[in-house]
Structure 1
Amino acid sequence: MAEKEKSFVDEINKAMAKSEGLPLKDLLFCYQGTPYPITVCSAETFQALENLEARRDDLVLVSYPKCGVNWLIQIVSDLIFTSTQSKCVSTELPFIECGDPDKYQRMKQIPSPRILATHLSYDCLPKSIFKKKAKILVLFRNPKDTAVSFFHFHNNAPSIPSYSSWDEFFSEFMNGKVSWGSYFDHAVTWNKHIEDENIMVVLYEDLKESLTSSVKQIADFLGFSSTAEQIQSIADRATFQAVKDKAQETHGPVGSLLFRKGVVGDWRNLFTEAQNQEMDAKFKACLGGTKLGAMLKYDVYCKV
């Protein structure tokens, strides 16, 4: 394993170890009204994050948890390597809100272009990202599959506190009492900026259904002058199965949890009719009639 990947995996293992023996009720703390996991986040880090010095050529990758941002990181990392023949060298946890408060000083040593990944909503990002006009890719996944994937992540990881049942998790998810808060609040904040010049929305389902064209769109938005052959080669390496097969090498023991099934429609295995109706109503109330709501194709991916 490369030294960079070993250091990165070590950081993941440290975070996972903090969860061992922790009851679910002690997993989360609130910062400015949103719950975050104490294993990777802290109030001190959030305060330091406000002073992060963004660069014009930073590549900001955003998603709510379990919407596929680790997959997107792999794709963009490959685009960078194909374009510059240099690999990302950071040994930090890739999410800017995760880690110790001193990480932002260390990040100054990372050569451009840097990948800044995050699960944060628009309003919680450091102001320098907008001041520098860095490009922001926002990845969305249909909320039903997101909820199911989030549930399995909690209950399949040996060291992360588990929920007693899917019903318990669903209630917490719908009430925004899970890590990083409400899916719907996250979506509403990003929907307000969906047409901003430096923001592009990517759909998980599009990555699954038309990966090559999605990679091309991402490359064009980020300003990579990749050939058709390079785009195809990146897409071939970035299929969900290909990324999953290398997950142990790239992410250590947590790799199989981050890249579990990757299917569209897995929600049908857990949702009850009452839960379907509850989420359908929530989606309509929060995103009905919005541009993001239309992009998510809820009737295609989330209706029985």
Structure 2
Amino acid sequence: MAEDKKAFVDEINKALAKSEGLTLKDLLFSYWGTPYSATMCSAEMFQALENLEARRDDMLLVSYPKCGVNWFIQIISDLIFTTIQSKPVSTELPFIEIGDPDKYQRMKQIPSPRILATHLNYDCFPKSIFKNKAKILVLFQNPKDTAVSFLHFHNSVPRVPSYSSWDEFFSEFMNGKVVWGSCFDHAVTWNKHIEDENTMIIIYEDLKENLTASVKQIAEFFGFFPTAEQIQSIADRDTFQAVEDKAEETHGAVGSILSAKVNLFVFCQDWKNLFTEAQNKEMDLGAKLKYDVYCRD
């Protein structure tokens, strides 16, 4: 396994080991009113986050947890390799809020273009990202599918604390008491900046429906201009199924956790089997999202 992938796997394994035996309450810690994973984040990490020195050619990928960002990372990595023949290499986890406070100094050694991922809200971003005009690609997904995938992750991944029932999880999810806080606050906050310079929103369901068109859109946003043949080749290699199938090859034993396998229910629209009519209405009314735009069935 390549050195960068090994470091990625090692960090995830450490976090999973810390999670073993914890209760859901123990898993969370609050920073500025938002709950985060105590095994992956820390107050010291957030305090040091402003030390991140963003570059103009950084590629920021934003999503709420369990919305397919690891699939996104694979697509962007393949796009970089295909167009400029440079393979993104880093021994750091791409998520800027996960790690240790010294991470931001080490990140200075990562060659450009860097792929940086995050689940953070707009207001939590380091100021250098906006000052240096790094491009930000935000991934939205139907929150009903996100909720089901989130629950499936908790209840199927060994060592991660699980919920006793769907109803218990639904209540916590609706009240923003899950890791990384409210899905709705995250979406609404980013939606306010949809017209900002260097920010683009893409819909998860669009990736599923027409990956070729989405790859072209993503490439143009980040200033890459692959040929039609190259775009199609990336789309053929990086289908949902293809990324899932090679996850363990690229990320070892944790591959099934990081891959879309934990997002499998999304493709089956399993929320329709779990949501009661009242829960369905509650999420529709409470989310304040553009369901006709961002929440496609």
**TM-score interval w.r.t. the shorter chain?**
over 0.9
Q: Tell me how far apart the structure 2 counterparts of residues 271 and 90 of structure 1 sit (CA, whole Å).
A: 41
Partner of 2:26: 26
- 2:220 is aligned with 1:224: no
Between the two proteins, the alignment pairs up a number of residues equal to 293
Which residue does 1:279 correspond to in 2? 283
Structure 1 stretch displaced more, 255-264 or 147-156: 255-264
1:270 aligns with 2:268: no
The answer to whether the 8 Å contact 1:205/1:264 transfers is no
The one-letter code of the counterpart of 1:88 is P
Mapping of residues 24-173 of structure 1, within 5 Å: 24-173=24-173
* Counterpart in the other structure of 2:3: 3
Code of the aligned partner of 1:197: E
Q: 2:69 & 2:7 partners in 1: Cα distance?
A: 20
Deviation for aligned residue 1:207: 0.4
- Aligned equivalents of 2:157, 2:257: Cα separation in 1: 7
Does the 8 Å CA contact 1:175/1:182 hold for their aligned counterparts?
yes
Identity of matched residues, %: 77
Alignment of 1:197-208 (within 5 A): 197-208=197-208
Q: Measure the CA separation in 2 of the matches of 1:279 and 1:20.
A: 32
- How far 1:253 moved relative to its partner? 2.8
How far 1:250 sits from its partner (Å)?
Answer: 2.4
Unmatched tracts of structure 2, length 5 or more: none
Cα offset for 1:269?
2.3
> TM-score normalised to the size of structure 2?
0.96
Q: 8 Å contact 1:156–1:257 — kept in the other structure?
A: no
Q: Distance in 2 between matches of 1:71 and 1:270?
A: 25
Report the alpha carbon displacement of residue 294 of structure 1 after superposing the two structures with TM. Answer: 4.2
Residues 62, 69 of structure 1: 8 Å contact kept: yes
Would the alpha carbon gap of residues 264 and 207 (structure 1) be closer, same or farther in structure 2, given more than 3 Å must change? Answer: farther
How big is the shift at 1:249? Answer: 2.0
TM-score by length of 1: 0.94
Deviation at residue 88 of structure 1 after TM alignment:
1.3
Deviation at residue 200 of structure 1 after TM alignment: 0.6
> For 2:112, what is the secondary structure of its paired residue?
coil
Q: Distance in 1 between matches of 2:268 and 2:109?
A: 39
CA distance in 2, matches of 1:96, 1:7: 15
Query: What SS does the aligned partner of 1:216 have?
Result: helix
Tell me how far apart the structure 1 counterparts of residues 137 and 293 of structure 2 sit (CA, whole Å).
15
Aligned to 2:190: 190
Task: Please report how far the alpha carbon of residue 6 of structure 1 lies from its aligned counterpart in structure 2 after TM superposition.
Answer: 1.6
* Cα contact 2:9–2:252 (8 A) shared by 1: yes
Question: Is contact 1:12-1:251 (8 Å) kept?
Answer: no
Match of 2:293 in 1: 295
Separation in structure 2 between the aligned mates of residue 170 and residue 216 of structure 1, nearest angstrom? 36
Q: Do the aligned partners of 1:16 and 1:160 also contact (CA within 8 Å) in 2?
A: yes
- Following superposition, the deviation at residue 267 of structure 1 comes to 1.0
Helix, strand or coil for the counterpart of 1:224? Answer: coil
Q: Structure 1: 5+ residue runs without aligned partners?
A: none
Shift of the alpha carbon at 1:293?
Answer: 4.6
Q: Is the 8 A contact 2:97 2:118 kept in 1?
A: yes
